[in-house]
């Protein structure tokens, strides 16, 4: 199954000049969604890890079923003010602005091996911020896995210290 067929381009979202890669058609099709989780599982099996970390919101959609399927824990990364406990916070740049993320301070402990999963890898800013939070907490980034990579934005330059895999590349 060609998952690329289920990715829709939305021009000028969230601002003019950006072409947003919309995964909702893939999620709407149960066979395509199932196939994406299976392919992510196959790709993730390359790494030895304890936990899967993903940013809200679309990262959650792929990471939660993958964590269950692989018998791993899931750690949500949220926007500021959404987590009820003490947090580690990190600000970063997006291709269209600035943002910040938070993770519970006790979510990752010393020597946890962590897989970072997201739907789209664009500039690498979000993933780099997550990797820094994991390392600040004492964890180790086992690898980075995404459904889509926008290689023309050269995200791997920011992530040169990590192993990165993507199922679909543009």
Reply yes or no on whether 140 is catalytic: no
Alpha-helical segments (H) within 45-115: 58-70
The helix/strand/coil state of 151 is: helix
Helices (H), the chain: 24-28, 30-44, 58-70, 125-136
Q: For the chain, first and last CA: distance in Å?
A: 17
Q: Is 95 a catalytic residue?
A: yes
> Given 35, 58, 78, 136, which residue is catalytic?
58
Catalytic residue (one of 95, 132, 135, 136): 95
H/E stretch holding 102 reads strand 97-104
> Which residues are known catalytic residues?
58, 95
């Amino acid at each position: 199954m060609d998952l690329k067929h289920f990715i829709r381009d939305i021009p000028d979202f969230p601002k003019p000049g950006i072409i947003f890669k919309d995964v909702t058609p893939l999620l709407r099709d149960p066979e395509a969604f199932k196939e994406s989780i299976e392919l992510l599982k196959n790709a993730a099996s390359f790494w030895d890890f304890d936990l899967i970390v993903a940013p809200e919101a679309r990262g959650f959609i792929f990471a939660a079923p993958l964590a269950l399927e692989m018998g791993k824990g899931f750690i949500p990364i949220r926007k500021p003010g959404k987590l009820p406990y003490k947090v580690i916070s990190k600000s970063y740049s997006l291709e269209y602005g600035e943002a910040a993320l938070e993770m519970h301070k006790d979510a990752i402990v010393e020597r946890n091996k962590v897989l970072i999963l997201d739907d789209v890898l664009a500039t690498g800013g979000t993933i780099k911020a997550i990797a820094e939070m994991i390392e600040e907490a004492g964890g180790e980034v086992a690898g980075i896995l995404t459904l889509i990579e926008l290689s023309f934005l050269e995200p791997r330059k920011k992530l040169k210290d990590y192993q990165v895999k993507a199922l679909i590349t543009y």
